[in-house]
Amino acid sequence: MARQIRIDQIADLMEEEIQEVVKLAALSWTRQVKEQTPVDTGRLRNAWQTNIGKLQAEITNNVEYAEPVLYGNNLPASWQGKYRTRQGTQPGFPDLIGKEIATNEVPSFIAAFRRRN
């Protein structure tokens, strides 16, 4: 049986749902991006930081060479204009992970929340 709520409770329930989805999506993204981050010394992989707020999450990596390795931008001269990692990583893979989570995981997060509430 569906949970019955008063109309004045809808906003609180929706905020709770959004918080849950943001948290689950951020944790999934962090886990997957760490797994796929190319490793030489492990510094880049270990530098991921996740801060989850009420309605948004921020996931950052402050290693100075993160942008060239993750996105293929601002390549160092030693790369001679060619994106390359030892693992053959695709440039922009963090964004691709985010799109995959939005398409494949977020709907199930929402459905699970609604089943519980």
20: number of Cβ within 10 Å: 16
pLDDT computed for residue 71 by the predictor: 94
pLDDT computed for residue 1 by the predictor: 59
Q: Quick: pLDDT tens for 45-63.
A: 999 999 999 899 999 999 9
Give me the sign of the Cα torsion angle 64, 65, 68, 74: positive
Q: Quick: pLDDT tens for 80-90.
A: 988 888 888 89
Indicate whether this model's pTM tops 0.85.
yes
Q: Which helix H or strand E contains 7, and what residues bound it? A: none
Beta strands (DSSP E) in 2-117 are 48-52, 57-61
